[in-house]
C-alpha cells in the first residue's frame, strides 16, 4: 500500500497522505525502511502516519499523542503535540514497555536524532 500511495501521490501531486498503521506485520529493518520512505515522501507533502513502530515514529518531524479522557460519563478523544523529551519517552515505551529502560531511552534518543 505504501508503494501504491507513493506512486499515486507523485503522479497526481497529492498534498497530504494519511497512513493508518501501514506498519502492521513488519518490524526491524523493514520498519526502518518504511520510515525512510515516509520521511522522503514528507519532503514534498504532508504525511500523517499512525504507527506503533519506533523505527517509523523516530523519523517524524512532529509526534502527536492520542488519548482518551474520561469526565463523568463522557469519554473524549484528545490529541497533544509532544515536545522532544516526551517524544523520546514515547518512542522508548514503544521499545520496552510502560516503564522504559535506560537503554530504550538511549535508543529512542538515537532514533529521533538520526
In whole numbers, what is the pLDDT of the chain averaged over residues?
A: 90
Question: At 106, phi and psi to the nearest 5?
Answer: -65, -45
Whether the per-residue pLDDT at 62 is higher than 80: the answer is yes
Whether the per-residue pLDDT at 9 is higher than 80: the answer is no
What does the domain layout of the chain look like in residue ranges?
Answer: 1-61
Q: What confidence score (pLDDT) does residue 13 get? A: 77
Rounded Cα distance between 18 and 21, Å, is 10
Cβ–Cβ under 8 Å, residues 75 and 100: no
Q: What confidence score (pLDDT) does residue 58 get? A: 94
This prediction's pTM: 0.82
**Mean pLDDT for the stretch of residues 52-80:** 94
Q: What confidence score (pLDDT) does residue 105 get? A: 96
Q: Cα(first)–Cα(last) distance of the chain, in Å? A: 26
CATH 1.10.1270.20 is the classification of domain 1-61: no
Rounded Cα distance between 59 and 66, Å, is 18
Amino acid at each position: 500500500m505504501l508503494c501504491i500511495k507513493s506512486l499515486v501521490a507523485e503522479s497526481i501531486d497529492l498534498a497530504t497522505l494519511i497512513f493508518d498503521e501501514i506498519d502492521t506485520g513488519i518490524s526491524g529493518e523493514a520498519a526502518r525502511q518504511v520510515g525512510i520512505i515516509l520521511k522522503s515522501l514528507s519532503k514534498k507533502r504532508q504525511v500523517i502516519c499512525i504507527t506503533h513502530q519506533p523505527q517509523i515514529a523516530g523519523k517524524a518531524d512532529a509526534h502527536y499523542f492520542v488519548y482518551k479522557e474520561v469526565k463523568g460519563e463522557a469519554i473524549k478523544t484528545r490529541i497533544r503535540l509532544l515536545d522532544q523529551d516526551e517524544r523520546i519517552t514515547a518512542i522508548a515505551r514503544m521499545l520496552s514497555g510502560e516503564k522504559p529502560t535506560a537503554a530504550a531511552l538511549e535508543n529512542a534518543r538515537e532514533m529521533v536524532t538520526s
